[in-house]
Structure 1
Amino acid sequence: MGCFCSKSVKQTPGYEEPIVLAAETPFTVSEVEALYELFKKLSSSIIDDGLIHKEEFNLALFRNRNKRNLFADRIFDLFDVKQNGVIEFGEFVRSLGVFHPDAPIEDKTAFAFRLYDLRHTGYIEQEELKEMVLALLHESDLVLSEDVVETIVDKTFSEADAKGDGKIDQEEWEEFVSKNPSLIRNMTLPYLKDITLAFPSFVLSSEVEDSEV
């Protein structure tokens, strides 16, 4: 095992050495190297420029570059830390690190809070919660009546809004998640525990390259 050296790596925009990223995330150096191989596949699936564009992100998630989904858009926006419309390698690894089984629960809870805070106000409002619930249902191909959705949202919001001020702040969110850990179950991807073994299956499931399926 050895980390990439400058001679063997095309210096893509935002490239960072695996040894640096491994020190800042739950990944080992070899796992970061495996993630770089995945990153190269994703970032060249439509535009070969060493960056993951939203269309490439959607292609990896949905096998359709044109499918729009609020959930996917929010994930992309949070991965795009610099907010410049693309995901660089360092952003990719650090963001995925939150989903590692060994990542702190606090990091997962904070990421999920920002995911639901659609308006970037520092609070989760009831309409934002409803939008995300609808997006997640759509992604899961679940169809529920408007009344059922409203009931789910109202019940969830009333339980989480402990202060009764019509919004959920970060403290209330943390308390709510501590009582309902299933809320952040999707914030853990077990295969990231050893991405060097899981990498082949990840590529197959993403179906970025049809020849590999």
Structure 2
Amino acid sequence: MGKAASKLSKDDISALKKSTYFDRRELQTWYKGFLRDCPSGQLSKEEFTKIYKQFFPFGEPNDFSNYVFNNFDTDHSGYIDFKEFIVAISTTSRGSLEEKLVWAFKMYDLNEDGKISFDEMLAIVKAIYKMSDPMVQLDDDESTPEKRVQKIFTLMDKDKDGEITLEEFKEGSKLDPSILHALKLYDGLV
């Protein structure tokens, strides 16, 4: 979208309406807020992490916020521009279950090879556990990140090849109530 302008152009609005679930008015409101918080028109990883720390004051969100940031930063520029931001917000808050599952899969697929390895999932789950409130009691089969990932792989890795494909992820996620709950967390918030 180039350098930050005070208003979205008609072309920008038209393109964003096609790639999000927001209307013109909502896009303009989001854009004003984005520019207020990011006058340069770009959100840095450091700024993004600061925001995450406000939402998770009892845990350590740095690692997880980096993974989420990288999923927002689709052009790998090291910054999130408004288009990247609003498309991600649209998907996570108003997208279909299918769109949310694809978005989540991309976050877990750290090396972007179209499959999630045990180690990739373990890295994300470790980050989630570090971010979570230490007072939260977990079931024994999920008491460590390793146990949680093993449980997920048992559920999702149908062909037992040590990797989860997008199709396996989508099917397995629909069977795991905690994943479905997490994907619906932002429904209707914006």
SS at match of 1:119: coil
Match among 131, 149, 154 for residue 153 of structure 1: 149
SS at match of 2:92: coil
Q: In structure 2, what is the Cα distance between the partners aligned to 1:172 and 1:130?
A: 17
Corresponding residue of 2:99: 107
What does the per-residue CA deviation read over 1:69-96, in whole Å, with 9 as the maximum and x for residues that have no partner?
2221111111111111111111111111
Q: What amino acid sits opposite 1:124 in the alignment? A: I
Aligned residues: 176
CA contact (8 A) 2:53 2:61 kept: no
- Name the TM-score, length of structure 1 as normaliser: 0.72
Distance 1:187 1:18, change over 3 A: farther
Q: In structure 2, what is the Cα distance between the partners aligned to 1:59 and 1:16?
A: 32
Q: In structure 2, what is the Cα distance between the partners aligned to 1:62 and 1:176?
A: 30
Corresponding residue of 2:50: 59
CA contact (8 A) 1:42 1:57 kept: no
SS at match of 2:174: helix
Corresponding residue of 1:186: 182
Gaps of 5+ in 2: none
Corresponding residue of 1:124: 116
Deviation at 1:36, TM superposition (A): 0.9
Gaps of 5+ in 1: 1-8, 196-213
Residue 50 of structure 1 pairs with residue 41 of structure 2? yes
SS at match of 2:29: helix
Deviation at 1:98, TM superposition (A): 0.7
Distance 1:35 1:184, change over 3 A: farther
Residue 26 of structure 1 pairs with residue 21 of structure 2? yes
Match among 125, 145, 168 for residue 172 of structure 1: 168
Q: In structure 2, what is the Cα distance between the partners aligned to 1:37 and 1:82?
A: 22
CA contact (8 A) 1:125 1:166 kept: yes
Q: In structure 2, what is the Cα distance between the partners aligned to 1:141 and 1:26?
A: 32
Of structures 1 and 2, the larger Rg is shown by 1
Q: Does 22-31 or 162-171 show the bigger shift?
A: 22-31
Deviation at 1:10, TM superposition (A): 2.9
Distance 1:184 1:85, change over 3 A: farther
